[in-house]
Chain A
């Protein structure tokens, strides 16, 4: 060990491992976001159902998911579904966790579609299904795209929790290399830099998108 000096050799060694782990991080983020985007929409529509038989259970599950920490949900799910690939569990749990937030975003986006749009659909005798498909959802999704993007970035920064359930993402690799070679400083500094390099331009891109959509 060379005291507090940064070991460039170790950094060079760990970089390929970290980049490999980063692919898993990206995969978890993209698929997790997809789950959150689709499931959030389903929840938002279900919560507008006329029957409390639908809305009450949906609300209860949402409350439960939101009031327990992500880490606890991950560990719990990994324990219950011990035969399932941890990466799959990670993606699903992240997706469900974030769906409870994206559903609120969708709800706001749907509420922001003016009443006149619904009335125009009714005046044209359009079915409820077609009203949602052709008019309400396209406008609502446009309203919510920037917020969904911001949740994707937060999810990206929470993927290190997946290391706890042995998903071999970037932080998992950093910790492994760090303990094997006693080079935590190098491994975690580089991991942090990779996150920074990936998420900062993405945030800038999101801000641009928001401006373009006129938010």
Chain B
């Protein structure tokens, strides 16, 4: 292969400052915006290029539906290139976290930072933060890609078009270039011979591989994976997990992964977050979480799934 299909585009500096947000204009410490207490900490350097700037930071993130608190003042960080697995019982808020990161949902409170820039908010000229407009969200979600449990391939397009659509219409790639890259990605996911196939002609496992290729084609900094093998027939799960292991091993993409496949989580994770009722009850390396869990809820959960 002449080029590495997973290589980042040169020049696509993640987290470059948006217009109207000079990097030096750090908000005052007594910022009137209660949702941005620590905005000073990351605004003073070229964001996203400092290795110590977390790739993702949740800061007092809240999500409510009416009175129902789904995420409760959540704080956590993910380093650049880190692979993080979210585990926990059903309804504990794992999907909600990924959907907030993908900007499919709006926050009820707090701030999400990606590459040192606010994802959910825009900086105001005064140095504070205000909720982002739809247009601003569209710009900031480019750094992030997502693979869904139900694949969500476009049934009106063949496999190749599924992968080239967004690179052409969003990134502005030439068709030839987009198709060449799509073919490379299809090779990578083991479907080099199904370029012209229609999604409905593929097995669930093959569809999910295409969905992974589609997400990677946008060269995201962060890849979100929400139970991507849960809708698959059992015999197809291992192949998709192997592919994800390979991507985790071969690339520097930051991965957030909700899964019930504990051996997979153990293999690829740098950090495991155990959720219960919208809070992190325990977090640590896979060794710690899987062999010496401290929290009772973690032990109960692992006993139930292992």
Q: Do chains A and B stick together as partners?
A: yes
- Interchain CB contact under 8 A, B154 and A125: no
Which of B155, B156, B157, B214 touches A124 (beta carbons < 8 Å)? B214
Bound-state Cα–Cα, A142 to B169, Å: 23
Which of B144, B156, B169, B218 touches A127 (beta carbons < 8 Å)? B169
Of B142, B146, B166, chain A has the most CB atoms within 10 Å of the CB of B166
| B interface secondary structure, majority | loop
Which of A124, A135, A142 touches B170 (beta carbons < 8 Å)? A124
Bound-state Cα–Cα, A120 to B145, Å: 10
Which of B152, B165, B169, B215 touches A116 (beta carbons < 8 Å)? B152
Range of interface residues on chain B?
20 to 34
Please, which residue of chain B has its CB at the minimum distance from the CB of A117?
B152
Residues of chain A within 8 A (CB-CB) of B152 are: 114, 116-117, 119-120
- Interchain CB contact under 8 A, B155 and A123: no
Binary interface encoding of chain B residues 84-96 relative to chain A, with 1 for a CB under 8 A from any of its CBs, else 0: 0000000000000
Q: How many residues of A contact B (CB 8 A)?
A: 17
Residues of B109-156 whose CB lies within 8 A of A: 138, 141-142, 144-146, 148, 150, 152-156
CB distance from A54 to the nearest CB of B (A): 17
Bound-state Cα–Cα, A142 to B154, Å: 13
Binary interface encoding of chain A residues 84-120 relative to chain B, with 1 for a CB under 8 A from any of its CBs, else 0: 0000000000000000000000000000001011011
- Interchain CB contact under 8 A, A125 and B156: no
Asked if A57 CB lies within 8 Å of chain B CBs, one says no
Binary interface encoding of chain B residues 154-198 relative to chain A, with 1 for a CB under 8 A from any of its CBs, else 0: 111100000001100110000000000000000000000000000
Residues of chain A within 8 A (CB-CB) of B259 are: none
- Interchain CB contact under 8 A, B154 and A120: yes
Q: Which residues of B contact A (CB under 8 A)?
A: 102-104, 138, 141-142, 144-146, 148, 150, 152-157, 165-166, 169-170, 214-215, 218
Q: Which residues of A contact B (CB under 8 A)?
A: 114, 116-117, 119-120, 122-127, 130, 134-135, 138-139, 142
